Chain A
Amino acid sequence: DGGITQSPKYLFRKEGQNVTLSCEQNLNHDAMYWYRQDPGQGLRLIYYSQIVNDFQKGDIAEGYSVSREKKESFPLTVTSAQKNPTAFYLCASTPRQKGNYGYTFGSGTRLTVV
C-alpha cells in the first residue's frame, strides 16, 4: 500500500544535539511538507519542497533544516538552534503544489528534549 512512513515514532534529544527525523513516501508525489504540532494547537508549516533539490521555508523554519535529494525522501533536522523543539512533527505529501489535492500525512514523530 502507498503511504508516508515517518521514523522514529518517538525521539529523545539532549540539549545541544542535532537530530534528524525521517520521512519517506511511495506515492510518487512531487510536493512534501513538514509541520510542527504543539499540544492543543493546529499545525504550523516548517519547510516544504515542490521538486527534488529545491525547498522553501515555511512560517517557523528557524532552527530546522531539510534536504530533498530524492523524490521519495524529505528528512528534517532539528538543530541545537531550535530553542523549544519538544513537539509532534508531521510529514505530508501531495501530488503537486497548489493543486486541488488533499494531503497525505505520516503517523508523526514525537520529539522530546531531555
Chain B
Amino acid sequence: SQQGEEDPQALSIQEGENATMNCSYKTSINNLQWYRQNSGRGLVHLILIRSNEREKHSGRLRVTLDTSKKSSSLLITASRAADTASYFCATDLAGGADGLTFGKGTHLIIQP
C-alpha cells in the first residue's frame, strides 16, 4: 500500500533557485525520512525527522513535519546541477511492521 505521496511528480528549476517538494502520508509515524536517487543508482539517506520534531536542517536541506496534517516538505536552497535526482520520502509506521514505506518520488531537474 502507498503511504507517502510526493508532490510534484516532477520539478524543473534554474540553478541557484530553491526547490520545494512535499510529501503526504496516511497513518501515524515514528519518523519520516528523505532519500535521493540518482538515475540507475541506489538511494542515499538525506535526513530523518522524528514524529515529535517540527523542523530539521542539514546543510542546504530543510525538512519540516506537520503531524496534524500528515505532511512533510523538503527544501533545497541554492540548488546546483548536481542536485538533479529523484527524491523520495519514506515513513516508518508507528506500531507497524518493520521496513520503510516509500512514495513514488519527485524528479528534480536543475537547469544550468
Contacts and interface: CB of A to CB of B under 8 A. Distances in A.
A100 B48 contact: yes
Q: Which DSSP category, helix, strand, loop or mixed, fits chain A's interface?
A: strand
A102 B88 contact: no
Contacts, number: 67
Interface string B1-30: 110100000000000000000000000001
A88 B90 CA distance: 18
B104 A42 contact: yes
Of residues B4, B43, B100, which shows the largest number of chain A Cβ atoms within 10 Å of its Cβ?
A: B43
Contacts of B92: 98, 100
Interface in B48-74: 48, 50
B42 A33 contact: no
Given A42-B2, A42-B88, A59-B1, A102 B45 contact: yes
Nearest to A105: B42
A80 interface: no
B30 A33 contact: no
B33 interface: yes
Given A42-B2, A42-B88, A90-B43, A102 B99 contact: no
Of residues B33, B42, B43, B50, which shows the largest number of chain A Cβ atoms within 10 Å of its Cβ?
A: B42
A90 B42 contact: yes
Given A40-B104, A42-B103, A98 B98 contact: yes
Contacts of A58: 97, 99
20 contacts: A6-B42, A41-B104, A42-B88, A43-B88, A43-B100, A45-B100, A48-B98, A88-B40, A90-B43, A92-B43, A98-B30, A100-B30, A100-B50, A100-B92, A103-B33, A103-B43, A103-B100, A105-B44, A108-B42, A110-B40
Interface of B: 1-2, 4, 30-31, 33, 35, 40-45, 48, 50, 88, 90, 92, 97-105
